[in-house]
Amino acid sequence: MMRIVLFLATNLAVILVASVTLTILGVGSYMSAQGLHLGNLLAFCLVFGMVGSIISLLISKWMAKKTMGVQIIEQPQNAGEQWLLSTVQELSEKAGIGMPEVGIFGAGEPNAFATGWNKNNALVAVSTGLLQRMDKEEVKAVLGHEIGHVANGDMVTLALIQGVVNAFVMFFARIIGDFVDRMLAGDDEEYTGPGIAFYVTSFIAEMILGILASSIVAWFSRRREYRADEAGAELVSPAAMISALARLKETHDEPSTMNGEMVAFGISGGKMAAMFASHPPLDDRIEALRQRYGA
């Protein structure tokens, strides 16, 4: 129920902010009896595409805490939590970023994620399974990987890429819808504005283009994962990063107990086609580190 409420609230916020932005920019309707106004359409799509991604980025920490049940470590309750805070502090200073919030979430499998719109105000969270199944050096490497995401600005980069991709999916879907609508109207009839064919075709085109566009975002995501692995290797050691990935590989085929929203260090789409996977195969990541560092 909480996820549904958060989803609806986020989408209402996107509509409100985008509508206000379009009004301020003086962008009118992109549809008329004469057809599409391409300038207004492009502005409409860019605003809605970017606003959605930016709002999602700005509330990413809050959403992660709510949806994943992350417990933030304010005051360490035991030696393990103290070690976790101290390690994140050490790696953050080494990477040249501000100290992130540190949290733990319940999940039986080893996993971790980093999120936040600002590299000096991020969140790094690890699963209980990661702390239980990996030794300290491996956990430290995983934390280095996540700190690498933050230091590299991956959350902001991917949000901007997603926003631009969303905008062009909306733009071209409506152009295709307009083309089909005019074709079905025929040359003998006076065009009086978009009909049902425009809306149906635009919807279908948006679904198809959205699937194709997701492969573009996934490609960028996979590239960022290699860089984050390198960050983990350099902040801790190549051997520790390789060992952490190998440990993750051991549990990869076990049934997942995690919610789908924030699978970050692991591979959420391992059974999907490679072009749509957000993470490269673990064997490829391990091999890339071995070739780079001769480990």
Query: Is residue 53 situated within a structural domain?
Result: no
DSSP characters for 199-213? HHHHHHHHHHHHHHH
User: Max Cα separation, the chain?
Assistant: 80
Structure tokens, 123: 């969140």
pLDDT more than 70, % of the chain: 81
What's residue 123's pLDDT?
Answer: 96
Q: What is the pLDDT of residues 60-90, one digit of tens each?
A: 999 888 888 899 998 999 999 999 999 999 9
Which has more pLDDT, 254 or 176?
A: 176
Write out the catalytic residue numbers: 146
Structure tokens, 207: 């679904």
Over range 207-235, report the average pLDDT. 93
Cα distance between residue 289 and residue 179, in whole Å: 49
Q: How many domains does the chain have?
A: 1
Query: Is residue 130 situated within a structural domain?
Result: yes
Query: Is residue 102 situated within a structural domain?
Result: yes
Structure tokens, 178: 């307009």
Query: Is residue 218 situated within a structural domain?
Result: no
Spatial contact of 147 and 114, defined as CB atoms under 8 Å apart: yes
Spatial contact of 83 and 131, defined as CB atoms under 8 Å apart: no
Which has more pLDDT, 162 or 278?
A: 162
Query: Is residue 193 situated within a structural domain?
Result: no
Structure tokens, 75: 């005051």
Q: What's the pTM?
A: 0.84
Q: What is the pLDDT of residues 151-204, one digit of tens each?
A: 999 999 999 999 999 999 999 999 999 889 888 877 656 666 678 888 899 999
Q: Which range is least confidently modeled, 107-121, 127-141, 237-251, 270-284? A: 270-284
Cα distance between residue 245 and residue 141, in whole Å: 9
On the CB side of 186, CA atoms within 13 Å amount to 2
Cα distance between residue 192 and residue 246, in whole Å: 62
Helix, strand or coil, per DSSP, at residue 32: strand
Residue 10 pLDDT level (bands cut at 50, 70, 90): low
Cα distance between residue 182 and residue 170, in whole Å: 18
What's residue 21's pLDDT?
Answer: 72
DSSP characters for 107-161? -SS--EEEE-SSTTS-EEEEEHHHHHHS-HHHHHHHHHHHHHHHHTTHHHHHHHH
Q: Residues with Cβ < 8 Å from 187, sequence gap 6 or more?
A: none
Q: What is the CATH number of the domain that holds 92?
A: 3.30.2010.10
Query: Is residue 126 situated within a structural domain?
Result: yes
Query: Is residue 16 situated within a structural domain?
Result: no
123: containing domain: 70-135
Q: Are strands 31-32 and 71-72 parallel, antiparallel or unpaired?
A: unpaired
Unique residue bearing structure tokens 């952490």: 244
Query: Is residue 78 situated within a structural domain?
Result: yes
Asked whether residue 113 carries a pLDDT value surpassing 70, the answer given is yes
Asked whether residue 221 carries a pLDDT value surpassing 50, the answer given is yes
